Amino acid sequence: MASPKKYCCFLFASVLAISIFFNNGIAIEEETKATETESWLTVSLSSLLPSQTCTPFTGLKKNSSLEVIQRHGPCSELKHGKANPKTTPTHFDILSEDQARVDSIHSKLSESFDHGNMKQLDSANIPVRSGMPLNTASYIVTIGFGSPKTDLSLAFDTGSYLTWTQCTPCLVKCYNQQEPIFDPSKSTTYSRIFQCGASKCNEIFSTAKYQECANPDYGDTCIYTVKYANTDFSIGFLSKDRLTITAGDTFDNFLFGCGQNNLGDALGRTAGKLGLGRHPISFVQQTATTYDKVFSYCLPSTTSSFGHLTFGSDGVRKNVQYTPITTVPNLTSFYGISVNGITVGGIELSSVASTLSSASAVIDVSTLITRLPPSVYAALRSEFRQQMTMYPMASEISILDTCYDLSGYNDGTVMIPKISLEFGDKVKLDLDVSGIVFVVSTKQVCLAFAANEREDDVLILGSVQQKTIDVVFDLNAERLGFGPAGCM
């Protein structure tokens, strides 16, 4: 077998690098003549696997920055204690749950969900489904509720508008979470939103799905209802209280959901969600006077490292380049993005250009694997496989059908084709290796892209492809920004 390096040089003219383009001709990194180094990544096998110990992130220099961790792994254990092996999901479980998230997005959040009746969705009425309490692609931050504050771990979600947490007395059901459940009776600043005609209640009902006012059993309280992938949901009282982000950033009268009937299989043992979507009640809008509708994050490369979630524009680096935010019908809480084309090894895949130009697309931090139209994925997969023929293939896993056994390379390094995602405005972004492959083990290293079921399903840019990249959401300017090496 020829060595990867010799093979790489031999195929220099057709070497693989993938790009998804943004519209305005801006490039995150300067384009230079293609070289072997620019077309391939020399990767240490050990770097593909998470460490057994957590590596702290030292880049948090703003008061408005929060540490971001993946739910499973040593960084989560550092904060929440050792995981239970019986409830730790396998890679297959994680990918299966990821598909449930994608299915929920594609189904446009079914209108058939029952509204406003807190007892209607008792766990006794929930269809049974397989799987352990997972958290798949959820990334976790810790914020404080109430006065005095109770610190709670929430999954932040760019596709959800409502921030909510489970609250005692859990009139119907609460799932098991890591921290004690928030007790609003112990907060001196807590209150419910009463009267269905209240302005905030009406504002939510007029612009969001799955809300209605309470029936007389709950004293005309404004009730929210949110539903997620498969059977997950939260129903409870629309409330307000003090929210503490950091010691210097607190927000009084913050509107949130105080969950009384909840099912959170996909949330693991987190306490709820921090809603960063596009909606008047989202965290982004409620804190606009302080953070000017700007937030950014950098997702860690592995479960053994930290990232950050930062609010406001002060910490945004100069190397970030921007593309316009678009709107996808029926997914208005999500941030849309234009995809113009894909390039492989500097050569544009002209066969997929028309499909991509007509495809709706969103960026989603809670979807793990990027989903492409089937014809686009087929072209990408074909090129990737052609460039990886020097390595033996391995069995597929769940939605990932292009995997390799890299365990036999005794020098400890392999060559991975460089992948660049380029979206609207011709902003070019080279991916970190953690954004190119999904690693089950050194015997099963898979291309981290998958196909949608139908050509017209919305394209989803998942969190794997966002790893180590500064992703900036600027709602005032209606633009998305991308900057390399944000939390290496």
Give me the catalytic one of 98, 241, 364, 474.
364
SS3 per-residue string spanning 358-415: CCCEEECCCCCCEEECHHHHHHHHHHHHHHCCCCCEECCECCECCEECCCCCCCCEEE
Give me the catalytic one of 98, 157, 232, 265.
157
Q: How far apart are alpha carbons 219 and 462 in whole angstroms?
A: 42
Residues written for the chain: 488
Identify the burial level of 467 via C-beta atoms within 10 angstroms of its C-beta, where 0-12 means exposed, 13-18 middle and 19 or more buried: buried
Is 364 among the catalytic positions?
yes
**Strands annotated E in 91-221:** 139-145, 150-157, 164-166, 191-192, 211-213
Q: Note if the bond before 148 is cis, omega within 30 degrees.
A: yes
> Among residues 101, 138, 156, which one has the least CA distance to residue 371?
101
Angle (CA) 212-174-222 rounded to 5° is 20
Determine contact, residues 401/438, Cβ cutoff 8 Å: no
The SS3 call for residue 251 is: strand
Cβ atoms within 10 Å of 18's Cβ, excluding its own: 24
Cβ atoms within 10 Å of 52's Cβ, excluding its own: 9
Angle (CA) 116-122-124 rounded to 5° is 150
Q: How far apart are alpha carbons 315 and 122 in whole angstroms?
A: 44
Amino acid 364 reads D
The catalytic residue positions are 157, 364
